Amino acid sequence: MALILGLLLQGVQMLLVLALAPLLLGFTRTIKARMLRRRGPPVIQPYRDLLKLIRKEAVIADNASWLFRASPYMIFAATWVAAALVPTFATGLPFAWVGDLIVISALIGSARFFLALAGVDIGTSFGGIGSSREMLFASLAEPAMIMIVFTVALVAGSTQLSFVAAFMQESAGLRVSLGMALVALIIVAVAENARIPVDNPATHLELTMVHEAMVLEYSGRHLAMIELAAAVKLLLYVSLIGCIFLPWGLAPAGSAAPAYATGVAAYVGKLLLGSFLLVLFETSIAKMRVFRVPQFLGAALMLGLLGTLLLFVSRSF
């Protein structure tokens, strides 16, 4: 019985992640428009966009290979599985032990690997420039992420997110190292999700674009899968920050139904807060030149390394 309930919860989490991801994106866009004193699209616009895309025929370049057609599904599946491993409304789900924080980061790496390959598959310059820059950013963002994982894991004594969240709920307190990890994680999240100041999700045909350049040749249902994967990835990072640094409201394993309801409510609240803060950050900063981004990400790497070093010096930092 407990197993069935657990599996059910796991399934609920996977569907919840999928259902909320476009909402988060739509909410972000709406608030951003309001902050720029525009009216902006309705909150549910991303759902409409996805529906529109999957109904259209897919136009594929003549020389596209099977990898080009398979990649959107691989990207989506890897991102979805990664997002399902992050505790959203409850900890201790039955498959939480399948992967820890390093696995989540590596799964995002797998998705990126296929995305970058798809970018060079057609053999256009735009795809190449996007892939090349994406891999540059990733080569700094991934080690920064690992250093953040180290910091968090050394404080909590585990790389397993369920245990991390439980530890943070009980006995974390304010720590210098965690503060550094939080700043670094925000930088990594901004870069990984192609948000301002690293990349601009709203533009096309700009020489500075990265993510949009890679997916330029996609259309129809393939583009829908990639857009959905990008939305899920944004949700994943917001959930990750929420689960590590704002772990309140998470329902522990085996709680009663009201606890789960509170968990879901708290989760939605965290998402809204995260999206509001993201917009606040984005509207108050300008887009960076591409070769300034490595310095921005290097700061995250150094903060993560510094946090880890402090914890190696003393566990009390």
Partner 1 sequence: MALWGVAVLLGAAVLGALLQRAGAATRIVYGVCLVGCLTILGTASYHLLLASDAPQTAQLPVGLPWTGAYFRLDALSAFFLVLVNLGGATASLFAIGYGSHEPAPGRVLPFYPVFLAGMSLVLLAHDAFSFLLTWELMSLASWALVVAHHHEPDNTRAGYIYILMASFGTLTLLLAFGLLAGPDGGYTFDAMRRADPVMPGLVLLLVLLGAGSKAGLAPLHVWLPLAHPAAPSHVSALMSGVMTKVAIYAFVRVAFDLVGEPSWWWSMVVLAVGGVSAVLGVLSALLQRDLKRLLAFSTIENVGIVFIGLGLALAFKANGMAAVAALALTAALLHAFNHSLFKSLLFFGSGALLTATGERDIEKMGGLIKGMPLTAFLMLGGCLAISALPPLNGFVSEWLTFQAILLSPQLPQWGLKLLAPAAGAMLALAAALSAACFVRAYGIAFLGRPRTPAAGRAAETDRFSLAAMATCLALCVIAGILPGLLIDALSPVTQALTGARMPVQTTMSWLSIVPVAESRSSYNGLLVLLFITVSTLLTIEAVHRYASRAVRRGPAWDCGFPDANPATQYTADSFAQPIRRVFGEVVFQARERVEMPPPGSAQPARLTVSLRDLVWDTLYAPIAGGLAVATEKLNQLQFLTIRKYLSLTFAALVGLLLAVAIWR
> Which residues, 118 to 137, sit near partner 1 by CB under 8 A?
119-129, 131-133, 135-136
Residue 175 touching partner 1 (CB under 8 A): no
Selected range binding partner 1 among 91-99, 179-187, 191-199, 268-276, rule: CB under 8 A: 91-99
Considering only residues 265 to 294 of the shown chain, the ones binding partner 1 according to CB under 8 A are: 290-291, 294
Q: Using CA atoms of 234, 250, 102, 228 in order, give the dihedral in degrees to the nearest 10.
A: -20
Q: Which is nearer to partner 1, 102 or 259 (CB)?
A: 102
Q: Tokens 């970058």 — which residue? A: 116
- Give the residue, chosen from 224, 231, 243, 250, that forms a contact with partner 1 under the rule CB under 8 A: 224
- Rg value, the chain, Cα: 19
CA distance 212 to 282: 18
Cβ closer to partner 1: 207 or 256?
A: 207
Q: Does 207 bind partner 1 (CB under 8 A)?
A: no
Assess 220 for contact with partner 1 (CB under 8 A).
yes
Among 16, 88, 91, 150, binds partner 1 (CB under 8 A): 150
- Smallest distance, Å, CB 265 to partner 1? 27
Q: From residue 118, how far is each of 137, 180, 183, 204, 222 by CA, in Å?
A: 17, 35, 32, 18, 11
The separation between CA 261 and the C-alpha centre of its own chain, rounded to angstroms, equals 24
Distance CA 75, CA 109 (A): 10
**Is residue 253 involved in binding partner 1 (CB under 8 A)?**
no
**Does 7 help bind partner 1 (rule: CB under 8 A)?**
no
CB of 46 to partner 1, least distance (A): 16
142 interacts with partner 1 by CB under 8 A: yes
- Scanning 30-38, 63-71, 177-185, 234-242 for contacts with partner 1 by CB under 8 A, the matching segment is 63-71
**Residue 168 contacts partner 1 per CB under 8 A:** no
Dump the DSSP string for 258-311: HHHHHHHHHHHHHHHHHHHHHHHHHHTSPPPPGGGHHHHHHHHHHHHHHHHHHH
> What is the H or E stretch that residue 256 is in?
none
Q: How far is the CB of 207 from partner 1 (least distance, A)?
A: 11
